[in-house]
Amino acid sequence: MPQKQNGLLQITPEHIPPLDPGFRPMILGNRNFRRAVALAEETAVIAIGIERNAGLVHRADLEIFVPGSPHDEESYRYVERTIKFLLWSRGGWKIFIAGPPEIAERIRAAYRPDGTRAFDVDLMSRAYGRPFQVEIVAAADVPQNKESGSALGGHLDGCRIGFDLGASDYKLAAVIDGQPVFSAEIPWDPTAQADPEYHRQRIREGLELAAAKMPRLDAIGGSSAGVWVDNQPMVASLFRAVIKNNPDQFEQVVKPMFINFGQEMGVPLEVINDGDVTALAGALSLETRGMLGIAMGSSEAVGFLSKEGIIMGWLNELAFAPVDYNPDAPPDEWSGDRGVGVLYFSQQAVNKLAPAAGWQFPAGMGLPTRLKAVQAAANMNDAATMQIFESIGIYLGYAIAHYADFYDFDHLLILGRVTSGCGGEIILAKANQILQDEFPELAARIELHVPDEQSRRVGQAVAAASLPR
């Protein structure tokens, strides 16, 4: 069906979110841009290589208009948004870029410590322990792809604890030979706590609670948002108050905390990014591979399990990866960027959309409580409130097609607190409708899955328990 064009990138979708008419899906803009470039008489190429830990590299070559065309700004925007997506999906501390200097220099300026992407520069520098760099090189000097991954999880023998650290609650499961015998959701408020002892005590208390439900303890596996290296949080929003107010204590107490837990309790312990555990949870439950998992909770957590059953070690922090070309989209309060996933696939998305559905919340009401109130109204078939979840479902349908440009998957699992109740059913139905109507080639290949209600809430904790051998 024809689509209204507002420039090459800002394409009005056929399915407009009822509470966000300005939504301009990146997948439509990117496809339209590429079609226009393919028809141009002369084009240029931007070669990009993004290096992360251990010399691993992701490379992309983007065809754009020759500089001096009427589409210079759109060429830059297309390149900049693609780099942003690759950086937060793969991770990296260094960008190699070759191509027209007009664009390469703008990218380098954006990714300076005082540039428009200062947040990205700071987070990636801390995640990989190296100063962030953008190096302008000749095309021959942009490194080729170099990837690596490992098989994690699926170990269900013995008595295990699994945990998932969220921003509003801390989920636990005691698992014996693959069967959960105890689960709990413990409310907490970690992002506001600058004392590392608060985090240490609360997490340790939860582990001891779960351990008491089993005859013995053989292993502990956990998940949390952020960048984890060797069971240490390099960057984690849960500990942002510690990082800001007590950076030395973060290094001395928080980073080695989980290694210490394993030693103190005398068992192997493994902690990885919560998004990867989401993908693992889906793969275990469906006995399949090629899984992209999206957890819609306090933030958006994404993980990927390849068709070979490998966790690639990519960053997969799509909360900060763009999905919307609308220049007037609200900015994310942490990164300051517009159109990024956290405001489309989390309880922050619900809070963003709720006023347009007629909701007014007390100033002191937290986002988890707001979400519960909205979900209760949706479960009572309140038409205006249900539009919140219809809008998120439309976001998701277009984002799935966008994600498919960067990940090779045949199964998509959605879970997390936002998907509880009838809201999750609405989200899934709308996303499927988008795929069938606008991306039939993907609808024929990609299956969408939603776990049962209990698995939505604690499924990550159960899957995390299978991480250690």
Confidence of residue 6 (pLDDT cuts 50, 70, 90): low
pLDDT, one tens digit per residue, over 218-229 is 999 998 877 888
The confidence score (pLDDT) of residue 329 equals 98
Going by their DSSP bridges, the two strands 291-296 and 300-305 should be labelled as: antiparallel
Instruction: Give the CATH class of 40-141.
Output: alpha beta
By the 10 Å C-beta count (0-12 exposed, 13-18 middle, 19+ buried), 444 is classed as exposed
Which CATH number is correct for 159-275, 3.90.730.10, 3.20.19.10, 3.30.420.40, 3.90.1170.40?
A: 3.30.420.40
Find tokens 């027209």 and name the residue. 100
Residue 270 is which amino acid?
Answer: E
pLDDT, one tens digit per residue, over 302-352 is 999 999 988 888 999 999 999 999 999 999 998 999 999 999 999 999 999
The confidence score (pLDDT) of residue 156 equals 86
The confidence score (pLDDT) of residue 452 equals 63
CATH topology of 40-141 equal to that of 159-275? no
Confidence of residue 3 (pLDDT cuts 50, 70, 90): very low
pLDDT exceeds 60 at position 255:
yes
pLDDT, one tens digit per residue, over 267-310 is 999 998 888 887 887 888 788 899 999 989 888 989 999 999 88
CA terminus-to-terminus distance, the chain: 51
For residues 91 and 52, is the Cβ–Cβ distance under 8 A? yes
pLDDT, one tens digit per residue, over 157-172 is 999 999 989 888 888 9
The confidence score (pLDDT) of residue 426 equals 97
The confidence score (pLDDT) of residue 1 equals 38
Buried b (16+ CB within 10 A) or exposed e, 445-468: ebebbbbeeebbbbbbbbbbbbbb
pLDDT, one tens digit per residue, over 402-448 is 999 999 999 999 888 899 999 999 999 999 999 999 999 999 999 99
Q: How far apart are CA 257 and CA 199, in angstroms?
A: 9
Domain ranges of the chain: 40-141, 159-275, 278-464
Q: Give the CATH number of domain 278-464.
A: 3.30.420.40
pTM, full prediction: 0.86
